[in-house]
Amino acid sequence: MPQSECPRLRPFLAAMRDERDPDFVLLWDKIGLAEEPIRVRVEEFFWLQQFDGSRTLRDVQADAMRQAGGQLIPFDAFTGLVERMEAGLYLDGPRFRAKLAEPLRQPSCIGCYPEAPDAIRKQLRKTFTGRGGPGLPVEKTPDGTLRAALIPHIDYARGGRTFAWSFKEVVERTDASLFVIIGTSHYSAERYTLTRKDFLTPLGVAPTDQQYIDRLVKHYGNGLFDDEVAHLPEHSIELEVVYLQYLYENKQPFRIVPLVVGPFQDCVDTGDCPSTKDDIGRMIEALRQAEAGTDEPICYLISGDLAHIGPKFGDPEMLDDPFLTHSRTKDEEILRQAEAADPAGFFQVIADERDRRRICGLPPAFTLLEAIRPRHGKLLHYDQYVHPRGLESVSFASVAFYR
């Protein structure tokens, strides 16, 4: 190990003190790339916290010896730790970079849906045919009137029938084979993040359209892959892909474009319309130009939920009926703006309440609605999950947008 090398821990790691032996710390990978946890001594854990890519191993050794009152700590202790972390896929090093370069994005949501394909099909079919569902899509030639759909990304157990309402409309009213999926980014603060990876699920591989991505990058510029690792644990794209695979497996092949959108908190804080921000404005124009250069229909899927309220999300008090009623009323205001296909109005309702209710669908919905400007929208289904003890509530909706 060269003395000049500056090791860096990779993203999405977690740690806790070993309950069986407080002299040790357990590290594990939150997105499952590493095969097993790593157990290190407490002093080694403090060394690891300096693995930020800016300090050499000699720097770390010198600091550790100062902390130990000048006691000599062999350099081999540090090189050995680096070797263990690299071998275990815990460093942003060659093995991790090779993993990132793999062309397939592995599933991260098994548990939300079963691992067995037939069990997935059974689960998703029930979201259409069960209580409150829209019924299965009608087998007919799509009329091509659907431009886009807002779809939840909450887990299927709580939001499945709301997913089904949107996807029934998708199957019946779009003749597109290219689906641009714009979802909330839960793992990156970057404004926009793409991936070129194809998406693997138990139902097969959903290929990503490389030519469309080339056009989008051409018109947007650099930076869309700076935090591509955020796609690996992300659920907001995968949960839409599984539905597409289920619904189209006996129909025409389809391709996807996976784009996730980070927070618009700066816009909320200032009250400035998001389209005035340079990066947001560039993405809006890039989506328009990419579509103009595409010689086939496109269906856009907005993967986003509405309110996130209650102690789980940082509110000080347990949820009660007045707060839930108020939240539903504010959701209705937002959805009226969505039906009017008015992205500025959509944003303004959220900004006026300082996004107190944490509307995670704001960034993808605003971006897409401003880019494609559908003629009008239609609310298909709304629901509000409430924890039995009032710890949390998440609301979500299906809205179809037409030419």
Q: What is the pLDDT of residue 31?
A: 82
The domain ranges of the chain are 13-100, 105-402
90, 102, 101: which is closest to 7 by C-alpha? 90
Asked if 41 and 24 count as a contact pair (C-beta separation under 8 A), the reply is yes
Q: Are 168 and 204 in contact (CB under 8 A)?
A: no
User: Where does the pLDDT of residue 3 fall: very low under 50, low under 70, confident under 90, or very high at 90 and above?
Assistant: low
pLDDT at 228: 94
CATH architecture of 105-402: 3-Layer(aba) Sandwich (3.40)
Q: Could you give the residue ranges of the DSSP H alpha helices within 110-221? A: 117-129, 156-173, 210-220
Distance between CA atoms of residues 223 and 221, nearest Å: 7
Which pLDDT value is given to residue 4?
60
Structure confidence at residue 33 as a pLDDT band (50, 70, 90) = confident
pTM assigned to the model: 0.92
pLDDT at residue 2 in the model: 56
**Per-residue confidence (pLDDT) for residue 317, from 0 to 100:** 92
Mean pLDDT of 219-229: 96
Nearest CA-CA partner of 281 in 341, 323, 233, 221 = 221
In tens, the pLDDT along 253-276 reads 999 999 999 999 999 999 999 999
Q: Which one-letter amino acid corresponds to residue 395?
A: S
Taking only the tens place, the pLDDT of each residue in 349-400 is 999 999 999 999 999 999 999 999 999 999 999 999 999 999 999 999 999 9
214 and 124 Cβ atoms separated by less than 8 Å = no
Average pLDDT, rounded, for the chain: 96
pLDDT tens, residue by residue, 70-114: 999 999 999 999 999 999 999 999 999 998 899 999 999 999 999
Distance CA 274, CA 267 (A): 6
pLDDT digits (tens, 9 = 90+) for 110-132: 999 999 999 999 999 999 999 99
**Confidence bin at 35 (pLDDT 50/70/90):** confident
